[in-house]
Structure 1
């Protein structure tokens, strides 16, 4: 067997090899049978790979080199804001006073951490235009769920909990919006977009009523378009007795320009792992703080950070609170990174973030519009959506375009979302990319569009340069093989 370190650890394992050398233990051995019930004891040793330290290091270094991330290439994943994470944030999060504390230690010995979180909450209040912030939720979807529990607590306090059972969600919304509403116990009502990709005001008016608990919306929306009727939309929902929820996934477009509070929203969540440059992907951890207007403060998660003179403390005497939604007080290390980012950028820097993000998106949109269908004519904010319908007529689907981009060294944009755009390509360049990168990406998509006309097989057969070609995605999803099984020699 040629050792290329593309093999599984099990395949290069040899009995007796060790990646460690430990001294003899001075602790008296204990028979497991004396401390564990019999049904938990193995009848034979676990079949674990046996390798040297060097083999282990080469294996995992090789896997790491195959990973694609924002530090290895352009990552224009629409709706995800895959911006560069400055390393100063990592350095600060690793300060011993932050990295070596424990959530159960006395609060008097964690005053610096509590002060940081209190100041982060104040900064996020300014960013959102809200009156109170909780850092507890671990991600955007959990923030949505917590916000909807606040909706429910508010309506119950007003004696309308049984009556207001419906959450309105636009047909272009993130999939987590209707999912979070269902998990929170609500019925979902879809609001159709109008011809320009925004919330249909007439459709909204027809949908609201005494059973409306609220509307979930992001602005700009998932098409990258600003909801120009947002003030009227807020008035319609409020007049019906409902509340407005702001999905903060697209907040990278409005920093320093507008706030959800000014737009009329009552509850908001932010994705610190998007807008505020903390790492995300690979399962987390994330952070999805929620903010509320003053009349909803009593229902916020508990415990809360309060300042008493120069002393910071956690309080849990909040009888109307929805309770704890995350162990301890959220993902502290992520919050430290976001705090570092905000303090580094300052107000002017955060405003420039949005200005550059919007500029980059509109630049790419202008370069690509002659080669791909553009479903909506107005300028976009931080992201935009193209359609591959023109290429579909030539036998090339959006998925083919995404696969072909891999040959150019680019990660694919989000594809087939939002669902209201056929053959959608959702592109978000973020503010951290250089013009040369944007141009190289645009050039690649333009070449793919030309190949779709002259040599479609080149596109439909992509990728051509990767070790793994096209997979049977249906079989992989329905019959995944997730356990290594050693091949047996039956000869």
Structure 2
């Protein structure tokens, strides 16, 4: 038997592939996984049939359309689906720049699945939920220390809702000052997350974009031209999605304040800044963190998530209700601090995703201040090791700040490879799936041609980074030596190349089984 060469970093991979129907298609009328026992006579005599006391207007006209399926078949179904999913437990998660996929300690996952958290309900009496209220209150205080802000809400369901909360606070702030009609512009940069523009646009603001100077920093001269009495706020990520950190950020915030505007910091991804710098010292009035990025909850493919949003004391009354306070004896939901016409009201129901806050709380408590600082340093170290190794590859480049290190991620370009071979970054992305690895290009539009955006965080070891680098090198070599294998990829993944022609046609979308049935029936 031939011995496997473990010195070769590129692994052989083939993912399980099942032609698995969705569970509604597996449903068979009358099939059961669990037989619900009949109520005992004593119980039935006390509560009746359990239906008669329900008001008529609350009763369903017909039974819910739920799948009917046996235990073995439902177990096979979800096990097969799990085999077709990649994640931090299966592959090395590096290629998810700006979104962050880091390791979430299993003990935190166990805590979040405890019945003490899963059986809670947001409408319970406060006296029965003191534990989670304490956790949320203390996590708020940790966020204050990490950012320098004075109060946090965990209501926003992610970074985009965090950005929307900032824009809503800006709107209420100037409504109270009587300047809402004239303060109609919000400034951001092209390399900040697109939500920093999209969320204020939803609030009706005109978006002013600042492009980079020749070194990749936001152009301060252009910024000075943009700021005026019409500026409501400056909302920006720093470092931006290129990994370039703007060291002059305080000059930007001071100029906005000079004209009476507010400043909001997109710290959705603060992996390289923990214990190093804070929003307050940079002159920001507001900020938000993604607990599912920086604070390891984990990301969850779009949810569950939390865009923890913090403000200075002056803006506290604009936060969504309720906040959580402590009177020395008990924790309670405080509506008074936000019970005014200038509160933004509700961003979403209740007080955010409790298990996400719990996992962030656990992560912070387990690391402590020095541990958070260490995580930030390792995230920067890992990123710059990856940066140095990839920059040694002839077809890879990284625009801006030549000779200087990046922070927690880098937006690279493989424009040379595309010109040489015709292989695009999208092609490379599909081929990397054949090695069980994720690879991310960029937000659209592509300001950097043929981009790759990679962020290792503090999670991977040097060996993990080396494996990812070796795999990228292998695929880049294939682009020159065997481009057809890349153009026809993926070959070993669950899904091969698909027809994407309907992706931009809402008439072809079906996000639920019910909508699918409606559209296929009509068709």
- Cα gap change, 1:417 to 1:368, in 2 (>3 Å): farther
Tell me whether 1:383 sits opposite 2:401 in the alignment.
no
Q: Displacement, 1:143?
A: 1.4
After TM superposition, the structure 1 stretch with the greater mean CA deviation from structure 2, 8-17 or 167-176, is: 8-17
**Residue of 256, 260, 265 corresponding to 1:237:** 256
Unpaired runs of 5+ residues, structure 1, are 486-491
Tell me whether 1:61 sits opposite 2:75 in the alignment.
no
- Cα gap change, 1:162 to 1:29, in 2 (>3 Å): closer
After TM superposition, the structure 1 stretch with the greater mean CA deviation from structure 2, 408-417 or 435-444, is: 408-417
- Cα gap change, 1:35 to 1:107, in 2 (>3 Å): closer
Q: Displacement, 1:12?
A: 5.8
Q: Displacement, 1:19?
A: 2.8
Q: Is the 8 A contact 2:380 2:407 kept in 1?
A: yes
Name the structure 2 match of 1:337.
359
What TM-score results when the alignment is normalised by the length of structure 1?
0.90
Name the structure 1 match of 2:183.
164
Q: Is the 8 A contact 1:178 1:188 kept in 2?
A: yes
Q: Is the 8 A contact 2:97 2:409 kept in 1?
A: yes
**Residue of 463, 476, 483 corresponding to 1:436:** 463
**Residue of 129, 151, 154 corresponding to 1:135:** 154
Tell me whether 1:360 sits opposite 2:382 in the alignment.
yes
Name the structure 2 match of 1:372.
396
Name the structure 2 match of 1:72.
90
**Residue of 466, 469, 491 corresponding to 2:493:** 466
3-state SS, counterpart of residue 501 of structure 2: helix
Q: Displacement, 1:48?
A: 7.2
After TM superposition, the structure 1 stretch with the greater mean CA deviation from structure 2, 196-205 or 325-334, is: 325-334
CA distance in 2, matches of 1:113, 1:316: 18
Q: Is the 8 A contact 1:399 1:415 kept in 2?
A: no
Q: Displacement, 1:422?
A: 1.1
- Cα gap change, 1:106 to 1:73, in 2 (>3 Å): same
Q: Displacement, 1:264?
A: 1.0
- Cα gap change, 1:291 to 1:348, in 2 (>3 Å): same
Q: Is the 8 A contact 1:172 1:419 kept in 2?
A: no
CA distance in 2, matches of 1:97, 1:150: 34
Q: Displacement, 1:16?
A: 5.5
Offset from partner CA, 1:82-121 (integer Å, 9 cap, x none)? 0011112123334454443332233233333222221111
Q: Is the 8 A contact 2:153 2:319 kept in 1?
A: yes
**1:136-285 equivalence runs, <5 A:** 136-285=155-304
3-state SS, counterpart of residue 164 of structure 2: helix
Name the structure 1 match of 2:440.
413
Name the structure 2 match of 1:488.
none
After TM superposition, the structure 1 stretch with the greater mean CA deviation from structure 2, 90-99 or 338-347, is: 90-99
CA distance in 2, matches of 1:100, 1:433: 34
CA distance in 2, matches of 1:280, 1:352: 21
**Residue of 118, 126, 130 corresponding to 1:107:** 126
- Cα gap change, 1:22 to 1:214, in 2 (>3 Å): closer
**1:274-313 equivalence runs, <5 A:** 274-313=293-332
- Cα gap change, 1:96 to 1:58, in 2 (>3 Å): closer
After TM superposition, the structure 1 stretch with the greater mean CA deviation from structure 2, 177-186 or 342-351, is: 177-186
3-state SS, counterpart of residue 473 of structure 1: coil
Q: Displacement, 1:289?
A: 1.4
3-state SS, counterpart of residue 186 of structure 2: strand
Q: Is the 8 A contact 1:101 1:110 kept in 2?
A: yes
Report the number of matched residues.
478
CA distance in 2, matches of 1:259, 1:265: 9
Tell me whether 1:19 sits opposite 2:33 in the alignment.
yes
**Residue of 20, 38, 47 corresponding to 1:6:** 20
Q: Is the 8 A contact 1:416 1:425 kept in 2?
A: no
Q: Is the 8 A contact 1:167 1:186 kept in 2?
A: yes
CA distance in 1, matches of 2:251, 2:380: 24
Name the structure 2 match of 1:427.
454
Q: Is the 8 A contact 2:242 2:409 kept in 1?
A: yes
Q: Is the 8 A contact 1:217 1:246 kept in 2?
A: yes
Unpaired runs of 5+ residues, structure 2, are 1-16, 518-523
- Cα gap change, 1:48 to 1:103, in 2 (>3 Å): closer
Q: Displacement, 1:474?
A: 2.1
- Cα gap change, 1:287 to 1:136, in 2 (>3 Å): same
Q: Is the 8 A contact 1:125 1:291 kept in 2?
A: yes
What TM-score results when the alignment is normalised by the length of structure 2?
0.85
